[in-house]
Structure 1
Amino acid sequence: MKLADRLRVALAAADRDHPVLLTGDFRDEDPAVAAYPAAVLVAVTDGPQPGVILTRRTETLRTHAGQVAFPGGRIDADEDAIAAALREAQEEIGLDPNRVEVIGTADRYRTVTGFEVTPVLSVVPPGLDLTPHEAEVAEVFEVPLSFLLDEANHKEGSLEWQGRERWYFEIHWEGRRIWGATAAMVVNLSRRLRWTA
């Protein structure tokens, strides 16, 4: 099955029989609390060894400085999640929206910083010449999809934050720590793909 088709099948899989999908940074999260809508682009390179494009944020940003993240940000009032993810990816890493095959939106994830993030799953050609926005992105890199999806690489931890216990996943790859919301969205995608394997 082609990569794009396998991803489409994974997104279409019903989750009612799979209660292991992650929804937020707190296990006792109140879904009634309002959150800012945001979107990220999960761009999978369609090569012999598919990879996922990630960024490392600059150390000068007010929030999440130095963290690994998908390209993305807030959804503006006049756009949907797909439009926002494509716009942010173009702004942050110079990814031409015309080179992106959008597969669909994946499971939303709520962050401790007050965002409800919609991952937009997509396929892009391998070897694209990407240019990081120097004020926001310190580095653009690719992690093999097979590594990210391997459950053995998903490490779970917890810490106390603002008086509450916070659970998170982290994935380590070549000296980089992928954790928090980014890792959780990867874990959700991994679980969906396992259901459709």
Structure 2
Amino acid sequence: QEILQDLYQRGVKEVLLGVFDGLNGLEEAFKSVFPKADVQRCVVHKVRNTLNKVRKKDQIEVAEDLKLIYRATTKEAAIQAFREFEKKWSKKYAREVQSWEKDLDVLLTFMKYPLSIRSVIYTTNAIERTIKDIRKRLKTMNSLSSIEAAEKITYLTIQDYNEKWSNRKLRGFSNAYQALQEMFEERY
């Protein structure tokens, strides 16, 4: 919450969406700082966690059934796909199905957004890749002289990403631009 409040104080005032991996307290902290923003739980994390609790022989079938939920084109279709998933798997994997039911709204938040960007916003994979690259960069430097040295490497790595990303067009966002503008205007 402190980091989010710091971002707010430094000028990040209008946020449409926060995407989180389900870490306890993170979504609540985000909503306390950005109450008008939507919260999206990372679907990839949820699928991964579910499949880890499913028998090996059922994993492919369960994964395919879950895809029908998060790849549906409308929220109604996604809910219908979940109901089918629930009927099929609730006897065998009651806890996992209940967990999906409990989190379904926050897992399907991305359905409010334009179709062209949904596959980008239902996961935290881009953030995780960045963190993985920073760790990889720090790990090769066997010993850093201080915390400041590690911070400098992290800063330079992020600056490198900023440079790459500032010229990069994210797939689908140009098509979604107008709809996102309208969402901002409506909300803020």
Q: Which category of TM-score, normalised to the shorter sequence, fits these structures?
A: under 0.3
Relative to total residues, which structure has the larger helix share, 1 or 2? 2
> Highest relative contact order (Cα 8 Å, sep 6+), 1 or 2?
1
Relative to total residues, which structure has the larger strand share, 1 or 2? 1
